[in-house]
Structure 1
Amino acid sequence: MTRTAVLICPGRGTYNKPELGYLHHHHTERMDLFRSFDAIRAEAGQDAITALDGASRYGVGKYSRGDVASPLIYSASLADAQALAEDIEVVAVTGNSMGWYIALAAAGALTPENGFRVVNTMGTLMQQHLIGGQLVYPFVGDLWKNDPARKADLLGEVARINELNYHTLALSIDLGGMLVLAGDEAGLQAFEATHPVVQDRFPLRLANHAAFHTAMQAPVAAEGRARLGSDLFSQPRHPMIDGRGKIWWPGATDTEALWEYTLGHQVTAPYDFTHAIQTAAREFAPDLFIVTGPGATLGGAVAQSLVLGGWRGMTDKASFQTQQEADPFLVAMGRADQRALATG
């Protein structure tokens, strides 16, 4: 019996110390694919991803860099997407932030090698420019109860800070029960100074992250378009849900428009991951939501997005956990206790 699934690809921040060796541990049979990525890296004089993944030590300063993290995450995620059990039918693909690039390859709109070129180029450009930064702050509490008033207040504060002279701050990603904010140092510090620490760790600065999905990235987007032509893109094999909740359908995708979105709006405007997940649930009603590795942190944002959308009548963390324990429908391939649910 076939199980339908929406495939969800992660973004930056998911290849950390516990993930070192992910490619060698889970995907020895795909080393030829990884070596083709190494060849692309060699052309640019960059370290091979097989060597980076096979290193004996993990250092945050190195592995959180855009030109290192992005290709490693892409390789791990795409390999996971290729490792799904035969009874799983992918009905749609989406991703968070950089995960959109991976989704393009997982859905067939980019070849594995061209997807790698896009990710490696954009990750390298982001690192070279490193314009601004990001922080994370939740608007829901530990119970995941929707609090639209709290969210509106926080976004109002973001707008107020952004109006100050010599301050830039904006919404970067709508991420389940969390807001990812991006701006310059003055804008980020102003938010941190006026918002209390919650859940022992927020507001949380993200190391080596630029002000993704804001107008500050316009120079990176322009350089990306100059280096990556629209001829890299083709019709997807699976429907794709982008960071606005728009669905790109196989056989009906304007590949020029897809290129323009991917290296334009997607880079310089807010990314609504919550809406993408809710669209996936409502339009495709899958049996499973499968989050590819590396890491498993995106699972929480997926669960929160479903709860905030009232999927299957869920209204809080407890109702999600009840349904998940009875019949697991959210599978994180980066979790050892869940991986076999997707790989068979």
Structure 2
Amino acid sequence: MSETRNDFRSSTARERLLIVCPGRGTYNTAEWGTLNRLAGGSDWLKRFDAMRREAGMPTLSELDGETAFRQSLHGRGEHASPLIYACAWADLLAIDRERYEVVAVTGNSMGWYIALAAAGALGPDEALHLIGTMGLRMQETLAGGQVIYPWVDEAWRPDWEQRRELLGLIERIHGREGTELYLSIDLGGMLVFGGNEAGLARLIEALPPRERFPLRLHQHAAFHTPLQEGVKREARRELASLPLRAPEVPMIDGRGHVWTPWSSDPEQLWDYTLGEQLVAPYDFTAAVRVGIREFAPDRIVIPGPGATLGGATAQALIQLGWKGLDDKATFQRRQAEEPQLICMGIPEQREWLLACQESRFS
């Protein structure tokens, strides 16, 4: 994170933060206007806008302010992904580094690209290039889609038998009459399935209705599945010179693997980011588990926009029994007393991390 490169110094006086970067689907109607409110007029946003303008695309400032929100436009990969990244970047820059120490960074799906910037493995402008390129390639191809379905009960307690049954559907459906179906993301108390239209149709038929589930994700391709092999080939060609470097703080990827400042090979990091990460399941739950167990954070922080990743992260924490969490009610009670999981897309939680809130901690 070049703007705050010197802020990652160790300090026993600071609270330890695990940063969890958001993925697609977090910038919606309610989040429209967030970027201009948090970062309007900043030098880095001007740079981002100039890069977009040079590429012949609407600027992020325009999309977030002058252009009324339309899912058909703002939800497209080449717009949604950079908007999410820019909102998250604004939040990351706002964290009081005299009071907090970032000890590790991870993310969900596209959040891995944001994590690269947050940990200093890419500069902010370089990360925008990566994120914009991948968003556009995914949108142009739009191979397959995603369906999400929960496997925890109403109190967010794990139902391991339900999980086994859901994973069993993949084996029963995949490969029959032209169907393709894969696990895409292990997302806390939910599973995200990726597949072609035939596979997803069979899956939806097999899943019992449960509130708003099964939920087909709008304008999402079958991320993290073999259906993205074409995108992978194109991305590796187009981003061959992506200047990845060893991170400044540890990063945890979608396998639960830790990339450290002292042992990371940039070539291997490039190969994972534009290779396995695109076509193999992304285990967000494992990333959270490793972050908790290996880095012992005091708090977990999810940058904005929005707060939709908060539920999945809380479900993963309940599975771990982090700080005694065992169900949704306990989590909500603890959050009301003092948030341990801070979603910066929620204004009152964001305030906990800002320098002007020093009196709150005294």
| TM-score bin, normalised by smaller chain | over 0.9
CA offset digits 1:146-177 (Å, max 9, x no partner)? 11111011000122111312001111000000
Return 5+ residue gaps in structure 1 as ranges. Answer: none
Amino acid corresponding to residue 83 of structure 1 in structure 2: A
- 1:286 aligns to what? 297
What residue is the counterpart of 1:210 in the other structure? Answer: 221
Deviation at 1:220, TM superposition (A): 0.4
- Shift in Å, 1:194: 1.5
TM-score, L = length of structure 1: 0.97
Secondary structure at the aligned position of 1:290 is classed as strand
- Is 1:114 the counterpart of 2:126? The answer is yes
Contact in 2 for aligned 1:230/1:255 (Cα 8 Å):
no
Give the alignment's Cα RMSD to 1 decimal. Answer: 1.2
Question: In the TM superposition, what whole-angstrom CA distance separates every residue of 1:8-60 from its partner, at most 9, and x where no partner exists?
Answer: 11000001011111111112352x21121222222321111111111251111
Letter of the structure 1 residue corresponding to residue 248 of structure 2? R
Say whether 1:228 aligns with 2:239.
yes
Name the SS for the 1:6 alignment partner: strand
Give the alignment partner of residue 139 of structure 1, picking from 134, 147, 151. Answer: 151
Tell me which amino acid in the other structure corresponds to 1:3: E
SS at match of 1:251: coil
Distance 1:158 1:267 in 2: 19
Matching residue of 2:192: 180
Gaps spanning 5+ residues in structure 2: where? 1-12, 356-362
AA of the residue aligned to 2:206: T
Conserved? CA contact 1:296–1:335, under 8 Å: yes
TM-score with structure 2 setting the length = 0.92
Q: Does 1:2 align with 2:10?
A: no
Return the match for 2:329 from 306, 318, 343. 318
Identical columns (%): 49
Following superposition, the deviation at residue 222 of structure 1 comes to 1.1
8 Å Cα contact 2:22/2:108 also seen in 1 = yes
Deviates more, 1:39-48 or 1:94-103: 39-48
- One of 59, 72, 82 as aligned partner of 1:71: 82
Could you tell me which amino acid in structure 2 is paired with residue 283 of structure 1?
E
Matches within 5 A, 1:90-109: 90-109=102-121
Give the secondary structure class of the aligned counterpart of 1:52.
helix
| 1:91 alignment partner AA | V
The corresponding residue for 2:9 is: none
**1:159 lines up with 2:171 in the alignment:** yes
- Equivalent pairs, count: 342
- The letter for the 2-side match of 1:209 is H
Query: What pairs up with 1:249-268 in 2 under 5 angstroms?
Result: 249-268=260-279
Instruction: State which of 48, 53, 56 in structure 2 corresponds to 1:37.
Output: 48
Q: How far apart are 1:326 and its partner, in Å?
A: 3.2
Cα distance, 1:283 vs. partner? 0.7
Question: What is the rounded CA distance, in whole Å, between the counterparts of 1:48 and 1:270 in structure 2?
Answer: 32
Q: Does 2:35 align with 1:19?
A: no
Contact kept? 1:331, 1:339, Cα under 8 Å = yes
Give CA deviations for 1:302-324 in whole Å, capped at 9, x if unaligned.
11011112222322212322333
List per-residue Cα deviations over 1:218-264 (Å, max 9, x = no partner). 11011111111255101211100000111100121100000000011
